[in-house]
Amino acid sequence: MAPAAEEEKRVVVDDCRGVLLVYSDGAVERKPSPGFTTPVRDDGSVEWKDAVFDPTHGLSLRLYRPRHALAAGGEKKRLPVFFYYHGGGFCIGSRTWPNCHNYCLRLSSDLDALVVAPDYRLAPEFPLPAAFLDAQSSLLWLASSAAAGGDPWIDDVADFTRVFVSGDSAGGTIAHHLAVRFSGGEVGPIRVAGYVQLMPFYGGVERTPSEAACPDDAFLNLALNDRYWRLSLPVGATADHPYANPFAPENGDEIAAAEFAPTMVVVGGRDLLRDRAVDYAERMKAMGKPVEVVEFEGQQHGFFTIDPWSDAAGELMVAVKRFLLRSLQPNLVDTTMPTMPAVDVADDAGGGAATAASPCANDVVEDLAGFLRVLSDGTILRSPVGPTFCPSTFPSDHPSVEWKEEIYDKAKNLHVRMYKPSSSSPSSASGGGGGGGEGKKMPVVVYFHGGGFCLGSCTWANVHAFCLRLAADAGAVVLSAGYRLAPEHRLPAAVDDAAAFLNWLADGEQFPTAAWLSDAADFRRVFVAGDSAGGTIAHHLAVRAASNPLADDAIAVCGYVLLMPFFGGIRRTASEEECPAEVFLNLDLFDRFWRLSLPVGATRDHPMANPFGPESPELDGVELRPLLVVAGGLDMLRDRAVDYAGRLSTMCKPVELAEFAGEHHGFFTLGPGSDATGELIAVVSRFIHATGVAAAAAPAADCFAPPELIKLKRTPPMSSSSSSSSPPPHVVEDCLGIVQLLSDGTVRCSGDYSSMPILSDAAVPSDLTGAVQWKDVVYDAGHGLRLRIYTPTTITGAGAGVEEKEKKKLPILVYFHGGGFCIGSYLIGSYEMDNFHACCLRLAADLPAVVLSADYRLAPEHRLPAAHLDAASVLSWLVAGGDPWLDASADFDKVFVCGDSCGGNIAHHLAVAIGSGEIVLSPTANLAGCVMLWPYFGGEARMPSEDTGETDTSSPVKMGIDLFDQMWRLALPEGASRDHPAANPFGPESARLDGVELPPVLVVDPELDVMRDRVADYAARLRDMGKRVELVRFDGQGHGFFVMDPMGEASGELVRVVRRFPQPNRCCATLA
């Protein structure tokens, strides 16, 4: 121990934030944690672990990866690798510090990347170049891991050809030195694709303006900057040492000779080091290096690690993600629109004249593709020039549509364009598929344009062209109304204007064109529609209408159409995170729109943006009219639209979802003449005409069906090499006119079941409908899949006075509909009654049983095994429990899987999966039997009944072997034969069933079915294996007779056969 006199002389000579203390005697004291408290925000979406990369120096790193990196079933998703070296002036900091940990959690989540955060030795104990050498070691550690098949935690997900090196402050300086050290980017088997320097920590003897002007209270001030360099550089070195100053004379031509990968330099407008970072980037670009600068105005040094969850940090994540995409795809076409000259905006946003503005000295703080600029003093500049995506080739007129324009709010200068099909229009004559014949009026579509609440007009050429086609093809009167725009008029101004327009419309006598519309418009069938922001407006009007209906009954709103609605939320969705920067609506523009349109200070969870936000009104008790929601498979907002429809469906709201799988946001206004737009309008037309007819026929509370999920998918073309001169795609497969596969890979789903004998309400006896109650539930929200639960009313106790003995638990029959895996649903058509629904009503009442009728994904959009996987999800949902109807009525010890045609195929595969242990039911559930009604199996070798060329003529659907073969072509994986295991249970690649423990099996085989011999052969083979199988032959009946006539005599006998199943010692029976 030192003498007291010497202890008193020992003083602190350098203090770095209280974390590092250097004493006068050379001693160094470090605190184990930073001098500030930051809570860790780990929501579990990212998993992480530590690993040692340099045992000699005791150095570790921390690895982060999104939990979804390993998809279901072990499928590997390769992620870019993103190195992050922490800051701290080479003197303090650690990967374990909570601010660094939080930042890396967000990096991994937002960038969808494997993040590697190494530590390195710190000064003054280890002055530079120790940190640089340690950083090199961490990169080489990854390279050795890639070469030798190292840590599987990394190898399972890492894409070693997409490695990025980043760092903040001192870590940014490390990134520069690594770029010079590993010139060309090749580090053994890994490739460095780019570098990100976040406010890099560079030095120099001569002060820059930003250093000289730096206030003492800044997070990084001049005194601390100098102290870091004094402690970290070799003893006696100045800030012009090559470790600190990249352009020091001692560096010579080292940088000029180095081959740099793309580099992004991030600077803060209030950072002491701003000028050095900007100078670095400019000098590098002068040397021809691929360097870009992103400046964050108003931000100080290290803002993203001080608060990794701030909006500014979020914007940084977006910028980094865009850089990663550009670095990996340098030849992407820049689709950003050219900047327009700044102009003064009129006092109101309704379309007043704009004049050229003189140059403004204010900085531009927001720029929406040149059409809208916000200056730092609050000035808003709008361009009078039309957008580049509205070319002059867009039609301004349609031969069968008349249109007029009118002002509906003079005070706000708000306009509406009105379109009506002329009497010569084919759609007006036919009613657009239901609108009525000659002399009959057409439904009215009130349409609100998109543009993130900031851009757009009913007068824009793309909006005009779309409305012309909508009126012509849908056979409807279209009213395209403008509204005030943000940021001059922030939300809820746009929604208020839309509501005011409906009130203006209700007071029909006041506008000049009322008479012009009166001969065509049926104002008792009004639908509110909108795209993007207009779709959000439609949602808010639907909610408002429930509590504040229109005062005048002159118009009746029957439904709402939300085309790719513009919803928001703080938490990113998968489709938002995966959105490429070059698309029409990307994440940067999305955030910018919300920032400009929401009330000042509001977040994206504001009720105007997020229908399910923490402060949004509860929708469970809101009585909504029917809604059609359209999503685009390539739209950044796809997941929000699907989630919106799914949540409403779980609340039993009347909602339909149509997804166009290969389409981007706003495809119908970007290409109003395209085939995809035609398909969209067909879907909208079907919705408005069917819903309008139902509304006119019955009271609002009784007329609408429960939610229907339209599975309309449009796949992108198989090849992008075709030119505009290529012939139009032709139909290569046409399945009953319901599903068509085109030569370019497009799938068309008409939803037209006119070739099928659809039942009417009158076909089902009232005593049967009164004996069973039913409801719809979502069992797979991710795929928007639902099922219907049927329970006899005497069991569920729906009425009072039910005897206790009648409340016994009933068997569960899980039923899958037929349709060759390509068509069908538990709900077909626009009304509640249909064939499958009637079948399940009868099964539930007459067995009696609790019946679950489930939808599943259909081919060719979703080829097998999609349907089998969805069926397994149904069982998982069932045994998970929690539904009050099932808890009250169902006997889980008696679960039966059942299906007709391809539903019977599904039942077989479920029974095999359970019997082989591939699917494990809960301990309280038991598979008691498998019921297959004329199961749909295949095989390359023909059975005798298949080889005769006969056709089953017992139903309106002529079901011959050609139709069954076609459905296999559409349903099986591309290139697969009918011997594929999904089709042929006994094919050459199918698993053997000898050792599979199957439950009792009932097989129903109609005499006139062309597949009867294949069905009989299936039952015989199982019986030869010692399985318990009952085969029942129905003479005089054809494929699907129960579905075609659920109330018929033969169907009644079929239900009695199922009720008696399983029967002891019975293997075969024939029912004449």
Burial 1040-1052 (b: 16+ CB within 10 A, else e): bbbbbbbeeebbe
In the structure encoding, which two tokens stand for residue 713, read together? Answer: 């998918």
Which residue, chain included where needed, has tokens 């046409």?
734
Instruction: Report how far residue 733's alpha carbon sits from residue 741's, in angstroms, rounded to the nearest whole number.
Output: 5
Distance CA 302, CA 304 (A): 5
CA dihedral 199, 200, 203, 204 (to 10 degrees): -80
Q: Does the CA dihedral 777-779-782-785 come out positive or negative?
A: negative
Phi, psi of 506, deg, nearest 5:
-65, -35
Q: With beta carbons less than 8 A apart as the criterion, state whether 456 and 708 touch.
A: no
Tell me 571's DSSP state. S
Q: Distance between CA 901 and CA 693 in Å, rounded?
A: 33
| AA identity, residue 806 | E
CA angle 636, 640, 644 (to 5 degrees): 155
3-state secondary structure of 478: strand
In three-state secondary structure terms, 520 is: coil
Q: Distances in Å between the alpha carbon of 445 and those of 562, 686, 749, 950, 1009? A: 12, 13, 23, 49, 47
pLDDT at 387: 62
3-state SS class at 650: helix
Taking the chain (1072 residues) in runs of 10, the rounded mean pLDDT of each run is 55 88 89 75 89 92 87 64 96 91 92 95 94 94 81 87 95 95 85 94 93 88 93 92 88 82 93 93 90 89 86 86 69 28 30 33 71 76 64 76 89 90 55 45 95 92 93 94 93 95 80 76 94 97 86 81 96 92 88 93 94 93 93 93 91 89 88 86 86 48 37 37 51 78 70 54 62 86 81 59 57 95 68 70 94 92 92 92 88 96 97 92 91 96 84 64 91 93 96 94 95 96 95 93 90 95 64 43
pLDDT at 328: 61
CATH value of 401-703 in 3.40.50.150, 3.90.1150.10, 3.40.50.1820, 3.30.300.30: 3.40.50.1820
Cα 295 from Cα 365, distance rounded (Å)? 12
Per-residue DSSP letter, 345: P
Q: φ and ψ at 82, to 5 degrees?
A: -125, 105
The answer as to CATH 2.60.260.20 being correct for domain 765-940+966-1071 is no
Name the token pair of 68: 């979804």
Beta strands in 343-438 (DSSP E): 343-344, 355-356, 364-368, 372-375, 380-382, 401-409, 414-421
How far is it, in rounded angstroms, from Cα 217 to Cα 221? 7
Hey, which residues does 49 pair with through a beta bridge? 63
| Active site members | 169, 532
The DSSP code sequence of 269-307 is TT-TTHHHHHHHHHHHHHTT--EEEEEETT--TTHHHHS
- Enter the tokens of residue 898: 């059942």
Its CATH class, for the domain covering 46-328, is: alpha beta
Residue 346 half-sphere exposure, CB side, CA atoms within 13 Å?
A: 13
Q: Take residue 211 and report the two structure tokens written for it.
A: 């250093």
Residue ranges of E strands in 456-548: 477-481, 521-531
Give dist(CA 235, CA 124) in Å, integer.
Answer: 10
**Contact (Cβ atoms closer than 8 angstroms) between residue 735 and residue 966:** yes
Instruction: Quote the tokens at residue 182.
Output: 């590993």
How far apart, in Å, are the Cα atoms of 469 and each of 77, 399, 472, 475? 42, 10, 5, 10
Query: Do 59 and 81 form a contact (C-beta atoms < 8 A)?
Result: no
CATH 3.40.50.1820, the chain: domain bounds: 46-328, 401-703, 765-940+966-1071
**Contact assessment for residue 954 and residue 1038, using Cβ atoms and an 8 Å cutoff:** yes
| CA–CA distance, 943 with 938 (Å, rounded to integer) | 10
